Structure 1
Amino acid sequence: MLRLDPFYPIVPDTAWLARLLGEGIKLVQLRLKNVDAGAVGAEIARAMQLCADHRCQLVVNDYWREAITAGADFVHLGQDDLRTADLGMIKAAGIRIGISTHSPKELETALAAAPDYVALGPIYPTKLKEMPWAPQGLDRLAEWRALVRCPLVAIGGITLERVPDALAAGADCAAVVTDIVTNQDPEQQTQNWLEATAPWRNLSTGKPPP
């Protein structure tokens, strides 16, 4: 089974990506926001080069066509994207797929696509954006863990204080946005996250530490 780093920051552009790569992250999602459509391909290409230089796994959010063109090897799709994406084309290009879920029905839809990871959220209340779903909580996370055989990503409202509980409940990694990009010292906070998730990173069994 694919192994994911337990710390999964999500960044809005390559400027943020360059800041965090220097801190030693090994898994990151590029979720481009407010980028001109004509610049998406160039941003993905730059992100790929930056991540290659730092030996970091890059996941491209949403832009699966541009990811194929750029030669990326991992994309993340929301449920709306999943309905319109050409999964056959994506997989033919050798690209791995992560899929967001928020309900049992969405999980069923995601699993039918044979994803390389499934994300569940929001686990906790989040300030990132208005969510139509109530917080899922740790019990739902544990339920998802029993239902999926691929890696499970927890997202939404996860902080340094909460991440041990999320990982212990069954998540393979925690996706983080607000706790990094709104922090007064994102680089130091990234180091804090790397330290907090180190016990899970060093495991060979895939089980949470005692």
Structure 2
Amino acid sequence: MPDLSLYLVTDRRLSLGRSTVDIVRAAVAGGVTCVQLREKECSTRQFVTEARAVRELLAGTGIPLIINDRLDVALAVGADGVHLGQTDMLIADARRLVGTDMLIGISAECVDDAVRAQAEGADYVGISPVFATPTKTDTAPALGLDGVALIRAAVSLPLVGIGGIGPGNATEVIRAGCDGVAVVSAIISAPDPKRAAAELKTIIRRAKEHP
């Protein structure tokens, strides 16, 4: 299983005019361990072109490229995985298409979602949202740290928390039971994405060393 401890989720709307590839390059230099490409507004061709550029950037680093929602894009570019929400393709259908070589992550908004994801063969669970966040407006109510702990007690899969996570609360999320934290604006909107990633990397490492 790849290292999911510092999981970057891209969002071009928050990039302050910078290209996704440039931000990912800086974030990788700062220490991100996984990159999820999330595109809600561009065309399929644009998505594929961008995904190929990011895949090329990550080649040889050991950092997996995960594609959000779009299994077709993940297959087209040979991504390492796909991340699916509760209204996206079922795990069983996705697994038939990708086989065992591609990671399948599932967003869980409650304990039942996480338990079902584990039973159906997901590789990891994204707990969403841990805290309220302005970067996604279609999410369920925030689960909070207690919600993270309940999901941790219910499943053995790797857990990645997402939603309103940054330097000020990443430690708490790890200590509540997450194996990693997924961040969007904390890196994408940072004046210096490399420095922001490095700061989060240090915070996460310390939280794991001193649970």
Q: Distance in 1 between matches of 2:41 and 2:141?
A: 27
Q: Distance in 2 between matches of 1:122 and 1:16?
A: 23
Greater CA drift, 170-179 or 89-98: 89-98
Greater CA drift, 148-157 or 70-79: 70-79
TM-score (norm 2): 0.85
Q: Distance in 1 between matches of 2:42 and 2:202?
A: 32
Moved over 6 A (4+): none
Mapping of residues 24-39 of structure 1, within 5 Å: 24-39=31-46
- AA at the equivalent of 1:209: H
- The aligned length equals 203
Helix, strand or coil at the partner of 1:128 = coil
Q: What are the Cα deviations for residues 168-207 of structure 1, in whole angstroms up to 9, with x where unaligned? A: 110000000121222233222112112212235xxxxxx6
TM-score (norm 1): 0.86
Q: Distance in 1 between matches of 2:24 and 2:139?
A: 28
Residues 105 and 82 of structure 1: is their aligned pair in 2 closer, same or farther, counting only changes over 3 Å? farther
Q: Which residue in 2 is equivalent to 1:176?
A: 183
Q: What are the Cα deviations for residues 41-90 of structure 1, in whole angstroms up to 9, with x where unaligned? A: 22222211111143322211112122123222211111111349832334
Taking only aligned residues, the RMSD between alpha carbons, in angstroms, comes to 2.2
Q: What are the Cα deviations for residues 112-171 of structure 1, in whole angstroms up to 9, with x where unaligned? A: 321110111211111212244221011110111111111011111112121111101100
1:114 aligned to 2:113?
Answer: no
Q: Which residue in 2 is equivalent to 1:209?
A: 210
Report 1 or 2 for greater relative contact order, CA contacts < 8 Å, sequence distance ≥ 6: 2
Identity of aligned residues (%): 31
Q: Which residue in 1 is equivalent to 2:161?
A: 154
Q: Distance in 2 between matches of 1:146 and 1:125?
A: 22
Helix, strand or coil at the partner of 2:104 = strand
Q: Distance in 2 between matches of 1:4 and 1:147?
A: 21
Helix, strand or coil at the partner of 1:133 = coil
